[in-house]
Amino acid sequence: MLFMCGIIGYVGPRDAREVIIAGLRRLEYRGYDSAGIAVVADGRLSVAKKAGKLANLEAELATIDFPVAHQGIGHTRWATHGGPTDENAHPHVSADGRVAVVHNGIIENFSDLRAELSNAGVEFKSETDTEVAAHLLAAELLGADTLMDAMRAVVKRLDGAFTLVAVDIAGSGEVVAARRNSPLVVGVGEGENFVASDVLAFIEHTRDVVELGQDQIVRITADEIEVIGFDGQPAETTRYHVDWDTSAAEKSGFDWFMRKEIFEQPRAVADTLLGRFNTKGELVLDEMRGISPEDLRRINKIVIVACGTAYYAGMVAKYAIEHWTRVACEVEVASEFRYRDPIIDPQTLVVTISQSGETADTLMAIRHARVQGAKVIAICNTNGATIPRESDAVIYTHAGPEIGVASTKGFLTQLVACYLLGLYLAQVRGMKYADEIRIITDELERTPAMVQQMLDGAERIYALAHSLAEAGDFIFLGRHVGYPVALEGALKLKEIAYQHAEGFAAGELKHGAIAIIEPDMPVFVVVPPEGRDQLRDKVLSNIKEVKARGAYTIVLAEERDKQISEDADVIIRLPHLSTLLQPLVATVPLQLFACELATVLGHDVDQPRNLAKSVTVE
Ligand code: M6R
């Protein structure tokens, strides 16, 4: 089985191989265990596929005679079952050599189908679920008029989540794709068309996109796009124009996408705030149309569901929403949500946060919530992705495409969207702390410049990363909203620098974990702003506790905070912000630190081992 892959199909006058390899390069962040390509030229199918990164496939293509073709498909894979081998790499070809298929998702009933096909004499060449689709398609083609008809017959036999893209040697200049629970978009060119997992794959050729709905099949030729439902009826689609260009998908002089994305944060935060307030200072969230102010006044509980970094944004949101609205707010890891039979009803507002909008755990959580009658608001960075499509309302973050596997600008813009949602709920339901909310609104407007200020100090953070390259273990501490910042700092180090890093609620440390503190162990501590003195004093005590056990303390504290010097080995200064907004600046040095440490250690920062950008299976 294989998941979370990048797929592309092309029909048009260019050399399909060049278009597909360039597209796969942009999709490689979705998976990089193996890559492959299949093209049809002069009624013949040519396939090349290789385990490892795309570079291996490119090296292979440089040594073989691969035809110039004008229709083809490509794939970059993130494997689970069925290791990353040449055989398991996509495309998979039917036994008769007639069709080639690439696939993203899981065909859940593949064992039964494989047994059925094996009994009928089909010999399998790989351990993947995808290969059954290739053989089924070839079998259906014997009795079908078109590849589209055959695809329609095949998808009826498949359970699970899948995007399938196929070429047929007998088809006249066409690529056919089907979509269920897995992303697929169509790029509309002039005299050429594309299908892909996401827009990045073809952004250098067109910014006009047709978004495919659930259970739809598309057939592209150079001049036509035909979409039908799995029921065979012509299907409605949404067309849109992408408002970013190829520069968003280039490293633009940076060594890593992640570093570029960290440095894009002032712009991303500003864009996410843009146009949200009217001249009276009131919030206007146009995208909330699907949920009326009456609906929002009726709710008596908010549940936030998300995964990974987005979950940490949700933890920050809980503090802000509960404080500003006095509505009880829970936050939960999406993968746990539906399995514990959560108490959800029509008076519950479910908020989901997802950069990609395709995370399967999150998607399943909102489906579960909607069945219980809850309204769902999505906070999402990807226009038209499945999660916003299946939500009642959406607040889009405007981070632009995030390509580095480690989320950075995604996180900061999610925080902004969470604050906007909290303020909006307070506005709609009656503001309890009107003065405070006015201050917060003013501060939000100033945060892009503050994020920039943190970036201006990058060299110092890089020097710190170099000095701690051998440390091996890292602890991150925070209280209140500093706690999710600590968790996020630790996650960044784990995922790209492969370091043992743990984030704790600072007060929890002495309930056990303080035992792991060793002399010279780096401990990052986020200190709340002055004004939250009770909270702050507790954190200052926690710094003393770890310092007394020999820790090397790296303290993130406000510029005006003069009290911390004696216990801090290193001080990272933060501009003043209200406590609730502090994560917007405190996270930035932790991102820079992780990026630099991973670089020093020689890791591939954008494509860390074992990970893929979006996790499209549970
Ligand atoms: O696309 P999503 O925001 O739903 O993704 C959720 C997590 O998979 C994601 O944040 C992941 O934890 C990142 N790689 C963290 O940097």
Q: What is the pLDDT of residues 275-294, one digit of tens each?
A: 998 888 888 888 888 899 99
- Average pLDDT for 532-540: 86
pLDDT at 431 over 90: no
Q: 355 CA distance to ligand 1 centroid (A)? A: 7
pTM of this structure: 0.82
Whether 329 sits among the annotated catalytic residues: the reply is no
Distance in angstroms (rounded) separating the CA atoms of residues 593 and 501: 13
Tell me the pLDDT tens digit for each residue of 134-172: 999 999 999 999 999 999 999 999 998 889 999 999 977
Residue 130 parent element (H or E): helix 130-141
- For the stretch 54-84, pLDDT in tens is 999 999 999 999 999 999 999 998 776 677 8
Q: Which of 49, 260, 547, 613 is catalytic?
A: 613
CATH fold label, 6-249: Glutamine Phosphoribosylpyrophosphate, subunit 1, domain 1 (3.60.20)
Closest-CA residue, ligand 1 atom 16, reads 406
DSSP character at residue 251: -
Which CATH code is given to the segment(s) 257-454? 3.40.50.10490
Place of tokens 């992640």: 258
**By C-alpha distance, which of 82, 80, 17 is closest to 54?**
17
Query: What residues are in contact with ligand 1 under a 6 Å CB criterion?
Result: 307-310, 354-356, 359, 362, 405-407, 491, 495, 614-615
Pocket test for ligand 1, best of 413, 607, 614, 617 (most atoms within 8 A of CB): 614
Domain 458-600 grouped into CATH 3.40.1450.10: no
What is the share, in percent, of the chain residues with pLDDT greater than 90?
Answer: 78
Break the chain into its structural domains and give their ranges: 6-249, 257-454, 458-600
Mean pLDDT score across all residues of the chain: 93
Distance 549 CA to ligand 1 centre (A): 34
Q: What is the DSSP string of 371-423?
A: HTT-EEEEEESSTT-HHHHTSSEEEE-------SSS-SHHHHHHHHHHHHHHH
**Fold match flag (6-249 vs 257-454):** no
Mean pLDDT of 416-443: 88
What does the alpha-carbon distance between residue 418 and residue 351 come to, in Å, rounded to a whole number?
9
Beta pairing partners, 178:
164, 217
- How much distance in Å is there from the Cα of 563 to the middle of ligand 1? 36
Please give the pLDDT value at position 1.
Answer: 33
Residue pair 113/44 in contact by the 8 Å Cβ criterion: no
Give the nearest ligand 1 atom to 410 CA. Answer: 3
Angle between helices 583-600 and 458-467 (to 10 degrees): 50
Residue 3 has pLDDT above 70, yes or no: no
